[in-house]
Structure 1
Amino acid sequence: MPYTDEPSNPLHRLWRQIAGWQPDHHSLWSRYAVAVAITLAATVLRIVLAPAESGGRFITLSLAAALSALYGGFRAGMLSTVLGMVMVNFFLVKPYGTLAFDDPGEAFWLNLWHFITALVVVGAIALMQWQNRLWRAAGEAVRRSTRQLEDTFEHSATGMAHSRLDGRWIRVNQTYCDLVGYTRLEMETMSFRDFTHPDDLGLDLSLQARTLAGEIDHYSIEKRYIHKQGHTVWVHLTLSLIRTPAGEPDYLIAVVQNVSDRKATEEALRTSEQLLRQAQQLAGLATWQADVATRRFTILAGSKDILDLPRTEFSDEELLAITHPDDRPLVLRQWALAVQGKAVYDIESRLRIGDHDRWYSVQADFERDAQGRAVRALGVTLEVTGRKQAELEIQRLNASLENRIQQRTQALRDAYDELESYSYAVAHDLRSPLRIINGFAQALQEDNPALDAASLSHLQRIMAASKKMGLLIDGLLQLSQIGRGEVQRQPVNLGAIATRLLEELAAESPQRSVTWSIEPDLHAWADPSLVDALLQNLLHNAWKYTASTPQAHIRVFTREMDGQTHFCVSDNGAGFDMARAEKLFQPFQRLHQPHEFEGLGIGLATVQRIVQRHGGLLHAEAAPGHGATFCFTLPGEASPDSLP
């Protein structure tokens, strides 16, 4: 049943209201006004109800003083007393306004006795009211303290419980219930043994027994609870024993804080540290720290064995002593810059450990104070002796390989020059026998006009073969000449060259009706003579392979592909099958029969050689009966400002 401080008896309630009256809750003037009103009312009642001469005239006014004191406090009561004395002496007996007593002595003693009596009564009432205020304040403080204790218990962020010595609960807060997942009703039927982890119950009971035996007053442990849903909850338990005034054990106070997150974090940290140590051992990483002020270097746990160092602490002078002399200036300079914050400490240097020099890669970060001064360095060190030895070996091999490449390149260059010279010499020396063969065949034909038709045919075939071989020799000479000398790049107007060559072809074949279109501003940075030969071969082929086309058309233009400018020559002539395109740029290889189109198969090989010498690419697109397009690049094109 809930407790209430309101009594059911109306008289008791009235008395409590009177006893609990707070005069100071009202203004001083209102209390004085009530005191005057009560005194005047008492005077009127005394006159109406009984004549003043009947005696006891001060009794009514004493009651008014008491009521005034109850309502308005000591001052109001004394004001009523003084006012009542005036009314008794001058206004209760006619004639009003004159002293009601004939004997002044009697008047003095009666008034003095009334004043003293009223002073005692009013003072007693004021004292009672003061004590009542103190009691009310004390009661309010007790209630506030009790409420705060209740709030602290019920709304605490930690679990709190009071239990009997046998483990049964006296009271449990909601946080404790939420911690283990049970309701308050369920907890009332349980003991802490019911949800304590079996592995932790023995230690808990042992410490509790020591507490009850008086060996210890309290204890704190970390233990596990089994949540209602089955999972484990780690808690920090503090148990204290409360004793009776006689010193006997009374009850236990348990404070429980959930530390599952901290335990999980600690476990994760331990796992991380273990994995880090394993990773350091596998990778050969050593960790260290340095106090910048004292210049002391400390090798952290496990790293001494990785570095094979004799101890874990070194001064800067001791470290410099085992640093290779050639690396000391670099170490000192880089460390000074890193301490000042002007550079990153990331170097490779050698240390003399035992009888061997070992290479180490060292990196460090610095912790700084509020003024930016370095106070501590944290670093990692990795032995890279194997890598450095491999790098040195690679450098040695690269130097050896580069020397061998230069030798091979020179040998290839010499062989190429010799082959070019041989080709040129052979082609040049073959001209003389060909001229002799052709001359004697022509002489036989002229000196023997009576030769029969068969002999004359033989002579004509000899002269035609010698002429063809002369053309082949000219092609060889052209190829050899193109492969010799340096490419002399300068601004070249491909459009102007193409226009001139097409006009020359039209003049040589006036019977042909061929149209052409040349895109303006076809500029390149190339060798003019080689570009002239390139366009001559492409345009000659276009002119030749459009011989059977009724409306022959040749086009010279550019297209952008893969960020490069491609110069293209296109025709609508015979075309060719792209399935045989691999023979297209091989010397003396032709895709058409001699009776279809004459030629030696040297033109496109010459074009490819010229494009390659400029570092460019050449490709073709064609289809039988639909013409062909040849596109090429000339890398190293000049800016438009440098072109004419």
Structure 2
Amino acid sequence: MARTALGIGVLYAVLGLSWIFGSDALVASISTDPEWTASAQRYKGVFYVLSTSFALVFLISAGYKRLFQALDRVESTELRMRDMFLQHPQPMWVYDKETLEFLAVNDAAIRYYGYSREEFMRMTLKDIRPAEDVAGFLAARQRAEGGHRDIGVVRHRKKSGELVFVHLALHAVQFAQRHAAMVMALDVTAEVLSKRALERQEAQFRQLHQSLADVLWIASADGSTMLYVSPSAEHLYGHSPEALIANPDMWLQLVHPDDAGIAAASHHTLLAMGEASCEYRIRTPSGEVKWISDRKRLIVDDERLVTMMGGILKDITADKERETLRDASHLELERQVAERTSELQRVNAELDAFARTIAHDLRAPLTTVVGFTQLVSKRYASALEGEGARMMGRIDRSAKQMAHLIDDLLSLSRASTAPLEIRNVDLVPIARDILEELQDQEPERKVRFEAPESLRVRADLGLVRPLLANLLGNAWKFTGKREDASIRLSADSAAPDAVVCIRDNGVGFDTDQAGLIFQPFQRFHTLSEFSGTGIGLTTCERIVHRHGGRIWLESKLGEGTSVFFTLSPGTEAVHPEPAG
């Protein structure tokens, strides 16, 4: 504006001087008459005054017009700026740079902070800062310079007391003839809290891996750059994490030469398949050899693009040493088992031969005793008195009891040593044949027998018959005092192991002593009550065990006994309706 006024003044002076000198020369050239010259000078002055007056009026009018137009534009701009300030979606305010008082706030600031406009006008910037942050705010304010500045992230407190994080940007302005600053705030609370949570997780993650014995490593997608190696690498490899990061090939250089191919192949598998695992040995700088379990995989983003690779290296030296010791112990155990099995087979063979020899050597004298006893009883029956006949009968019964005992011992020996020939066997025909033999020995007995039409098992035929003979013989014997004697053969094929059951309604026994029932020579009834050697159930147990099964009893005194046993899988009852 000053330069324009100076230009107008200079132009006016130049034109005025040019008019004065130019008009004087023109008057003098026209006439030298003094009266005409004086009259011409007067009219020349009047013309100059009138022309300059018109020019001055025109200039002033044009200047005022431009001034009013400029004022209108300024007022319009201020109105637009005010509307933009008040309606801006982000919180904004203007404050006095000297007193820190709020001079203006927009609607977004009122909504965000919870204060009314009147409350803001009675506050300073210190009132929206937490008390512990005010000192730092004042110190930073004094160091601040410049008209526009990014203040950064600070903490503010809302009227409700809630602490928030905002990012502030400041611009120096003149407001109501005061040095002021306009500030815009952007809420970054969620970002700050997320960043702090991530930093805490990273710190916890780092602390976790610093405390683990396993080595965690992360490398670039192609493995050419190591990005992270956990501190435990120094204990495992004997090199610092920094050294392993600086030389990505060091891990392969430390692999035992005999296992280098395994480690290299595992890396190729990782690149081809996305994951890999292997075990190999390494040699530390001290010369110590360690076993390593190496598990690794490629790390991909949401688009399935490989961004990194990572893995875990674990020291399994102790496991390998235990495995070696276990293998050695297993071999030693197998050797000992083989030796003891061979020795047991030899002893069993000797015992079997001994039992057969003893049985043969005992059977001949017993046969002689029985034969001569019967001969004496026949030839000299008239000469023998009542006591003599009774004694001869006792000798005969004892000899026969001894013969039965020898037969049972031989059966027990065969049950323990005879080779098994497993085949499909139907128990029902065998049971009926055994009961017919018992019926022939005691034709006066009436015993009801129930069984399914067929009951097939997988077993050795040569051992199944003595098993059933002993169990059915016991049932026949212990039902001898009942008029309504009953024996039943059945199978529960629904059980996990098909269970065969022989049930009778005989005298039964006290189950408190059931634990002794399968021991040799154990009896729960006297010989005067029921005959027997005490070997039969022991033989049954060995036969069942040799088939991989189990045998047990349930009994109640005076009500009968049920014997249960299992054999090889495959027991099946067909048409389980009772058959007499």
Give 1:261 shift. 3.4
Alignment map for 1:24-173 (pairs within 5 Å): 147=83, 149-152=85-88, 155-156=89-90, 159-165=91-97, 166-173=99-106
Residues 221 and 309 in structure 2, CA contact (< 8 A), matched pair in contact too: yes
Residues 242 and 249 in structure 1, CA contact (< 8 A), matched pair in contact too: no
Question: Which of 470, 474, 490 in structure 2 is aligned with 1:541?
Answer: 474
Q: Does 1:392 align with 2:324?
A: yes
Residues 168 and 191 in structure 1, CA contact (< 8 A), matched pair in contact too: yes
Give the letter aligned to residue 281 of structure 2.
R
Counterpart of 2:210? 281
**Any idea what SS the aligned residue of 2:528 has?**
coil
Counterpart of 2:519? 586
Q: Does 1:599 align with 2:532?
A: yes
Give the letter aligned to residue 324 of structure 1.
H
Give 1:301 shift. 5.5
How far apart in 1 are the matches of 2:210 and 2:229? Answer: 13
Question: Which of 393, 396, 399 in structure 2 is aligned with 1:466?
Answer: 399
C-alpha change, 1:511 and 1:182, in structure 2 (3 Å) is farther
Residues 526 and 637 in structure 1, CA contact (< 8 A), matched pair in contact too: no
How far apart in 1 are the matches of 2:458 and 2:294? Answer: 51
Counterpart of 1:321? 253
Counterpart of 1:331? 263
How far apart in 2 are the matches of 1:511 and 1:369? Answer: 92
Counterpart of 1:23? none
Q: Does 1:423 align with 2:355?
A: yes
Counterpart of 1:238? 168
How far apart in 2 are the matches of 1:283 and 1:579? Answer: 58
Counterpart of 2:39? none
Counterpart of 2:427? 494
How far apart in 2 are the matches of 1:444 and 1:504? Answer: 30
How far apart in 1 are the matches of 2:77 and 2:136? Answer: 42
How far apart in 1 are the matches of 2:497 and 2:478? Answer: 28
Counterpart of 1:218? 149
Question: Which of 512, 525, 547 in structure 2 is aligned with 1:614?
Answer: 547
How far apart in 2 are the matches of 1:216 and 1:203? Answer: 21
Give 1:142 shift. 8.9
Q: Please list the CA deviations of residues 225-267 of structure 1 after superposition, one character each: whole Å capped at 9, or x if unmatched.
A: 4455556x24134151423399x86323333344443343333
How far apart in 2 are the matches of 1:562 and 1:195? Answer: 80
Residues 167 and 187 in structure 2, CA contact (< 8 A), matched pair in contact too: no
Give the letter aligned to residue 349 of structure 1.
Y
Counterpart of 1:485? 418
Question: Which of 546, 549, 563 in structure 1 is aligned with 2:496?
Answer: 563
C-alpha change, 1:548 and 1:458, in structure 2 (3 Å) is closer
Q: Does 1:347 align with 2:278?
A: yes
Give the letter aligned to residue 495 of structure 1.
V
Counterpart of 1:38? none
Give the letter aligned to residue 194 of structure 2.
T
How far apart in 2 are the matches of 1:284 and 1:190? Answer: 58
Give 1:195 shift. 4.3
Q: Please list the CA deviations of residues 104-145 of structure 1 after superposition, one character each: whole Å capped at 9, or x if unmatched.
A: xxxxxxxxxxxxxxxxxxxxxxxxxxxxxxxx9999999787
C-alpha change, 1:294 and 1:409, in structure 2 (3 Å) is closer
How far apart in 1 are the matches of 2:383 and 2:272? Answer: 110
**Any idea what SS the aligned residue of 2:180 has?**
strand
Residues 241 and 250 in structure 1, CA contact (< 8 A), matched pair in contact too: no
Give 1:489 shift. 0.7
How far apart in 2 are the matches of 1:571 and 1:259? Answer: 89
Q: Please list the CA deviations of residues 256-309 of structure 1 after superposition, one character each: whole Å capped at 9, or x if unmatched.
A: 344443343333333323332332233212222334547344543535534432
Question: Which of 172, 183, 190 in structure 1 is aligned with 2:123?
Answer: 190
TM-score between both structures, scaled by the size of structure 1: 0.68
Give the letter aligned to residue 231 of structure 2.
G
> Gaps spanning 5+ residues in structure 1: where?
1-135
Residues 467 and 540 in structure 2, CA contact (< 8 A), matched pair in contact too: yes
Give 1:164 shift. 2.7
**Any idea what SS the aligned residue of 1:313 has?**
helix
How far apart in 1 are the matches of 2:73 and 2:298? Answer: 62
Give the letter aligned to residue 251 of structure 1.
A
Question: Which of 381, 400, 408 in structure 1 is aligned with 2:313?
Answer: 381
How far apart in 2 are the matches of 1:473 and 1:187? Answer: 117
Residues 223 and 309 in structure 2, CA contact (< 8 A), matched pair in contact too: no
How far apart in 1 are the matches of 2:79 and 2:453? Answer: 105
Give the letter aligned to residue 395 of structure 2.
I
Residues 167 and 186 in structure 2, CA contact (< 8 A), matched pair in contact too: yes
**Any idea what SS the aligned residue of 1:600 has?**
coil
Residues 503 and 560 in structure 2, CA contact (< 8 A), matched pair in contact too: yes
C-alpha change, 1:367 and 1:485, in structure 2 (3 Å) is same
Give the letter aligned to residue 532 of structure 1.
R
RCO higher in structure (CA 8 A, sep ≥6): 2
C-alpha change, 1:405 and 1:539, in structure 2 (3 Å) is same
> Gaps spanning 5+ residues in structure 2: where?
1-71, 574-580
Give structure 1 regions of 4+ aligned residues with deviation exceeding 6 angstroms: 136-145, 369-373
Percent of residue pairs bearing the same amino acid type: 28
Give the letter aligned to residue 242 of structure 1.
A
**Any idea what SS the aligned residue of 2:418 has?**
coil
Give the letter aligned to residue 359 of structure 1.
W
How far apart in 2 are the matches of 1:547 and 1:523? Answer: 29
How far apart in 1 are the matches of 2:552 and 2:217? Answer: 63
Give the letter aligned to residue 588 of structure 1.
F
Q: Does 1:409 align with 2:338?
A: no
Give the letter aligned to residue 424 of structure 2.
P
Question: Which of 493, 506, 510 in structure 1 is aligned with 2:439?
Answer: 506
Counterpart of 1:42? none
**Any idea what SS the aligned residue of 2:520 has?**
coil
Give the letter aligned to residue 573 of structure 1.
G
Question: Which of 269, 287, 290 in structure 2 is aligned with 1:358?
Answer: 290
Query: 362-371 or 522-531: which moved more?
Result: 362-371
**Any idea what SS the aligned residue of 2:258 has?**
coil
Alignment map for 1:193-212 (pairs within 5 Å): 193-211=126-144
Counterpart of 1:517? 450
TM-score between both structures, scaled by the size of structure 2: 0.75
How far apart in 2 are the matches of 1:188 and 1:210? Answer: 26
How far apart in 1 are the matches of 2:390 and 2:383? Answer: 13
Residues 167 and 188 in structure 2, CA contact (< 8 A), matched pair in contact too: no
Give the letter aligned to residue 530 of structure 1.
L
> C-alpha root-mean-square deviation of aligned residues, in Å?
3.6
**Any idea what SS the aligned residue of 1:522 has?**
strand
Give the letter aligned to residue 201 of structure 2.
S
How far apart in 2 are the matches of 1:299 and 1:598? Answer: 86
Give 1:184 shift. 5.2
How far apart in 2 are the matches of 1:181 and 1:455? Answer: 129
